[in-house]
Chain A
Amino acid sequence: MKWLKQLFSRRRLYGEVSEEIREHLEEKIEELVARGMSRKEAAAAARREFGNVTLVQEDSRAVWRWPSIENFLADVRYGLRMLRKNPSFTAIAVLTLTLGIGANTAIFSVVEAVLLRSLPYKNPTRLALLTDPQDREDGAFLYRDLGLWRSQSRTVEDIAIYYRDSGFSRVTLTGDGEPEQVQGAFVSANFFPVMGVSPQLGRVFTPQEELRQQRVVVLSHGLWARRFAASADALGKTLEINGVTSQIVGVMPATFQFPARDQQFWAPLTTNPSWGDPALTINIDPNHTRFFYERWQAIGRLRPGVRLEQAQAEMSTIFRRIDQAEPDKNRGVGVNLVALRVNLGGNTRLTLIVLFGAVCFVLLIACSNVANLVLARGAARDREMAVRAALGAGRSRLIRQLFTESVLLALIAASLGLLLSSVGVRALIALGPSDIPRLEEAGLDTGVFVFTLGVSLFAAMVFGLFPAWRISSIDPNESLKSGSRGAAGLVDHRRARSLLVVAEFALTIVLLTGAGLLVRSLLALLAIDPGFKPERVLTMRITLPASASDAKRIGLHDQVLERTRALPGVQAVGAISDLFELGAAGNLGLRAIDGRAPEPREQWTPLIWKSVSGDCFQAMGTSLLMGRYFSEQDGPDSPLVAIIDESMARRYWPGENPLGKRFKGQDRRGHNDEWVTAIGVVRDMRRSGLERETTPHVFEWYKQSGDAPKDVIMRTTGDPRALAATLRSVVRTLDDTAILSPVTTMEQQLAGQLAPRRFQTWLLGLFAVIALVLASVGIFGAMHYSVVQRTHEIGVRIALGAKRSDIMRLVVSQGGRLALIGIAIGIFAALLLTRLMASLLFGVRTTDPVAFVGATFLLTLVALLACYIPARRAMRIDPMVALRYE
């Protein structure tokens, strides 16, 4: 700690040296005086013999210093003074950088939370999903094989199974308060140990409870906070799931969100309403289909030190062994191991990467703007630099000093940027779509701080080093000779500044075209005709407890339709078994088609069967293209009929009249061998999301299929929301055991489907606009500065007879040329880069001319506007004033 003591006692030390020197001189003078000199002569002689007092003092002090640090501190002090002295420069530079760094930090904290941070499970790298090799979303293996897998594997420690996202895990919470539709998971008891997570409160369920089908449930943190006010009393209370009460035994921490982000509870898989349902777990005809619900999603924990490939090899061996011993068509073709960390849904990863790329571009543009400012100011500081160089400051010393100023600027901006990003991250979490897992974990943590620090230093290097290098390269002789304006350095500066403007425009056009492509995709999506009319439609799902009989279901359903049809303001009422079906539909074929050979399995394509009732098609607002609607004459005993959609007609009877055509479905209801006759064709409805291709549909009449469709659809004449309460109360008065989902409008549901796309489009659009503003400020600054520098020249031109319009053209063409070069380079880059975002686009190609031309036009326009103001200034230059300007 010696150095520390020295550091603090320095001031005293310096004083002592001065005093000592003073005493030394005094002693000398006295001695000389004693030898007969006059006091004045003695003082002069003493000083002569002593040497340069100040220098000696300096040197004595320097002994105690660390020159590099003290120089640095001096640079910092000087830099701060320079920043204070140029408040407008500082403000603009800091503001620009704050935007760049803030946006960067905000997106990075999302990227970090979602893509980079390791999963909040114990040794997450040892976790792997076991999936179907052909469909990653599908489950991996039959429940009855599970025991074999677990006992035979040497590489996998344990395997847990669960249901995810299928209709079975989307349930309605009833009981106190409004009913609520939530996503739950039905999991095996070893699920929690496999994941390596412990509950925040209470316990998880045991294998015994799973075996005994005990109705126990573990709540998510969110559900616990929402329905139980985060109170410890929740343990021992009950949760009503689809009308069945379950005992709450534990609460998981907020970070645990597996298998899905909107996970609300975990219950033993044996308590799922469909568990043991013979219709679901016993396959009727192994030759025809494999029902996905027989196959389970699974996650395994590898033993320590086992690599994924080793485990994969063993899994494949076990699969072959099991399949040979007891063949089963439903088993599929194998099991794939997928590391848990890479399993991020949909386009999330690409979206985040594109957004992160965009903010990096914004930051680069901000940097080049600031570099431009620094260069402009550097020109004004030519003289200062020249004087410093003349006095012996080395070039590296000058660069270091200028760079210190840049770093200061970047650090100030970084701290403001952190503030900005904390607001930004909160906004992202609030507005972000629910399909981004772990989004709400995004925040400012150590990693983000380090990143921001790194980014700001990087920024300082980008905008600071280049100008510092340029400015310091000034030849002091030239600069001092050429008078106050330092013209020698300026020529080079102008070229450097032009380069920066070109770079900014290149970056901006890339962002603009990217945003343009997304906007075009969104518009294309909004322009898509869903095949139905979502306006003025109210929907609600009615479910009855599992114990209710089919007769009761149909009875309630009929009464609900009858009562609501009579309500004033109701145009049409119907019901369908599922209003929307997001996600891919399974491949399915027809068992038989009249007059044709059976369809081999290889030719199967997605096919959806739905039960409908009432005036379902009228309520949806889809139109009947041929034939007739269902009628009351179509009863359980009359011949089976179906309405098909256009896709179905095209798929099986292209160019033919499908009416009257007969076919047999893969039906588990027992009337497999009856022919179903097509009686009508309706328009295609995009029930699986607007972005998906239409899927062939077969609509059955509920009286013939025996299903009571759950989703009531009500088309109203006025504002549908006015009828929401009425709809609920109608059902309530009919049956108080019915579980009612919240009433929503069809438009709300569609908007929810579009949320992720809107989110990415808005964000990229926002960044593109920021880039546009920065680039226009950049070119404005450059042109303005250039005009100021050329005042004299322009004055001469005017004096020599140049017209004002010539001057205007001179300035605008100079700026325009830079913008166009930048745009040309940028378009080239955009052609390469937008290819990467192809899978984010919908309905437009990556080379969409509208997006490219639009972006070019917009940016050129903005560039010309930004040049116009300085050009006008140039036009108004008074030659008399300009020539006197020297």
Chain B
Amino acid sequence: MKKEKQRDLFPGALEMMILRTLKRQPLHGYALAQHIKRTSNDLLQIEEGSLYPALQRLLKEELVKAEWGISSTNRRVRIYKLTAAGTKHLEREVSRFETMLEGITRVLAPGES
């Protein structure tokens, strides 16, 4: 029962997107969710809630840090920021992902044509 429901994402994808988003600017959970949805043009089916376990994982690994603050809409929110380790991790993950994507694309390409 504890198993996370499988999203249409590969493991680590959500974390990567969170890190990428946070690299631009620190955000709180809701804003983060909205941003990811908006930028992906709603192509990705992400339950907003699934963000939170991912954020906890990142917190635990100290790739992000969180601080309570006040949002633009005057709410008490927890704002997440990328740490130095998080930046490095993101770079590594992105390059690994790009390699993987390239590989997958190449394999898929001949069959498509």
Q: Which residues of A line the B interface, CB within 8 A?
A: 6, 13, 16-17, 20-21, 23-24, 26-28, 30, 49-53, 55-64, 392
Contact = CB atoms under 8 A, between A and B. Distances in A.
Given A16-B78, A27-B75, A59 B53 contact: yes
A62 B29 contact: no
B24 interface: no
B51 to A, nearest CB: 8
B57 interface: yes
Instruction: Tell me whether chain A's interface is mostly helix, strand or loop, or mixed.
Output: helix
Contacts of A26: 75
B37 to A, nearest CB: 9
Given A59-B4, A63-B56, A51 B75 contact: no
Contacts of B49: 21, 50-53, 55-56
B56 to A, nearest CB: 4
Given A23-B77, A26-B75, A392-B1, A60 B30 contact: no
B47 A50 contact: yes
B98 interface: no
B2 interface: yes
A57 to B, nearest CB: 8
Contact of A50 (B48, B57, B76): B48
B48 A27 contact: no
B53 A24 contact: no
B75 A60 contact: no
B32 to A, nearest CB: 10
B53 A63 contact: yes
Contacts of B73: 27, 30
A49 B48 contact: yes
A64 to B, nearest CB: 6
Interface string B1-25: 1101100000000000000000000
Contacts of A59: 2, 4, 52-53
Q: Point out which of B50, B56, B59 has the most chain A C-beta atoms below 10 A from its C-beta.
A: B56
A27 B78 CA distance: 13
A17 B30 contact: no
A56 B30 contact: no
A56 B52 contact: yes
B47 A60 contact: no
A21 B52 contact: yes
B44 to A, nearest CB: 13
Interface residues of B, number: 25
Contacts of A21: 29, 49, 52
B60 interface: yes
A49 B1 CA distance: 20
Nearest to B76: A23
Contacts of B48: 24, 28, 49-51
Contacts of A13: 56
B64 interface: no
Contacts of A53: 49
B82 interface: no
Q: Point out which of B2, B53, B60, B76 has the most chain A C-beta atoms below 10 A from its C-beta.
A: B53
14 contacts: A6-B60, A20-B28, A24-B29, A24-B48, A26-B75, A30-B73, A51-B5, A52-B49, A56-B50, A59-B4, A59-B52, A60-B55, A63-B53, A63-B57
Nearest to A17: B52
A794 B52 CA distance: 61
Contacts of B71: 27
B33 interface: yes
Contacts of A6: 60
Contacts of B33: 24
A715 B53 CA distance: 96
Contacts of A63: 53, 56-57, 59-60
A61 B53 CA distance: 8
Nearest to A48: B47
Nearest to B37: A49
A49 B52 contact: no
A60 B56 contact: yes
Contacts of A64: 56, 60
Q: Point out which of B4, B30, B50, B57 has the most chain A C-beta atoms below 10 A from its C-beta.
A: B30
Given A23-B76, A27-B71, A59-B52, 7 more contacts: A16-B78, A20-B52, A20-B78, A23-B30, A23-B75, A57-B52, A59-B53
Contacts of A55: 5, 49
B9 to A, nearest CB: 14
Q: Point out which of A21, A59, A62 has the most chain B C-beta atoms below 10 A from its C-beta.
A: A59
A538 B86 CA distance: 96
Interface string B66-91: 00000101011110000000000000
B36 to A, nearest CB: 13
A54 B81 CA distance: 25
Contact of B2 (A17, A27, A62): A62
A64 B5 CA distance: 19
Contacts of B50: 51, 56
Contacts of B78: 16, 20
A26 B33 CA distance: 14
B81 to A, nearest CB: 15
A56 B52 CA distance: 7
Contact of B29 (A20, A58, A61): A20
Contact of A56 (B53, B76, B77): B53
A60 B60 contact: no
Contacts of B52: 17, 20-21, 56-57, 59-60
Contacts of B75: 23, 26-27
B47 A51 contact: yes
B60 to A, nearest CB: 6
Nearest to A30: B73
A62 B60 contact: no
Contacts of B30: 23-24, 27-28
Contacts of A24: 29-30, 33, 48
Contacts of A17: 52, 56
Nearest to B48: A50
A49 B47 contact: yes
A431 B77 CA distance: 75
A45 to B, nearest CB: 11
B48 to A, nearest CB: 5
Contacts of A23: 29-30, 75-77
B41 to A, nearest CB: 16
A13 B47 CA distance: 22
Nearest to A14: B56
A58 B5 CA distance: 13
A63 B61 CA distance: 10
A80 B29 CA distance: 41
Contacts of A20: 28-29, 52, 77-78
A58 B2 contact: yes
A140 to B, nearest CB: 73
A395 B51 CA distance: 33
Contacts of B2: 58-59, 62
Nearest to B62: A2
The 10 closest A-B pairs by CB, nearest first: A51-B47, A51-B49, A56-B49, A59-B53, A63-B56, A50-B49, A60-B56, A50-B48, A24-B30, A27-B30
Nearest to B33: A24
Contacts of A57: 52
A721 B71 CA distance: 102
Q: Point out which of A6, A13, A24 has the most chain B C-beta atoms below 10 A from its C-beta.
A: A24
Given A20-B78, A23-B76, A27-B75, A62 B53 contact: yes
B10 to A, nearest CB: 18
A524 to B, nearest CB: 70
A876 B29 CA distance: 72
A70 to B, nearest CB: 11
A102 B48 CA distance: 59
A63 B75 CA distance: 26
A249 to B, nearest CB: 70
Contacts of B47: 49-51
Contacts of B1: 392
Nearest to A62: B2
A23 B49 CA distance: 12
